[in-house]
Amino acid sequence: MFQPHGQLTGETGATGHDTCAPSSPAVAHVLNQFLNEQGESVARALTTLSRMEQEGTLEELAGALTLLKLLKDALTDDMVIGLARRVERLAAVAADPAVSSLLERLPGALRAAESGTVSQEGAPGLTALWRQLGDPQVRRGLAYLLAVVKRLAPEAP
């Protein structure tokens, strides 16, 4: 089993004497104490780390983290503000109760249309269309669309 205690602290102490003498014994002491208390979990963490290193996962992780740095390097304040503004607008639209209620109904409506007569048999004749107007659900749908159409165009100048 991996034995971190003496080795790690010993090494730190030894280098400490050569280089930054006053603080190193103190650092060694703190490390020693820490390892005495947390030795098991440090050993486990180091084992995981060493396994990740051997498998190449560590390297991949470092590579993936480069993507974060890349984003930071590529973006500017203006771009972040612009993007956030768009996300905010989209989110506001999506959060609107009318939009979310429509979004809930839309997939079902589209599926029905895709599998319905129009997709399968082509354009219906005028009489067939006229007959469909007898269906109150079709009339409600049309009234809904007309109400949307009415408000869709910008105000006339």
Instruction: List residues binding another protein (CB under 8 A).
Output: 60, 62-64, 66-67, 69-70, 73-74, 76, 78-79, 82-83, 86
CA angle 92, 87, 111 (to 5 degrees): 70
* 54 vs 76, beta carbon nearer another protein: 76
Q: Report DSSP letters for 71-120, one per residue.
A: HHHH--HHHHHHHHHHHHHHHHHHHSHHHHHHHHHHHHHHHHHHHSHHHH
The token pair at 119 is 């997709």
The smaller minimum CB distance to another protein, of residues 69 and 150, is found at 69
Identity of the residue, 78 or 121, whose beta carbon is nearer to another protein in the bound complex:
78
Q: Nearest approach, Cβ of 81 to another protein (angstroms)? A: 10
Q: How far is the CB of 28 from another protein (least distance, A)?
A: 33
- In angstroms, give the least distance from the CB of 79 to another protein: 6
- Confirm if 28 and 16 have CB atoms less than 8 A apart: yes
Q: Whole-angstrom Cα distance, residue 26 to residue 16? A: 10
Measured from the CB atom, the residue of 82 and 124 that comes closer to another protein is: 82
The distance of closest approach from Cβ of residue 128 to another protein in the complex, given in angstroms and rounded to an integer, is 36
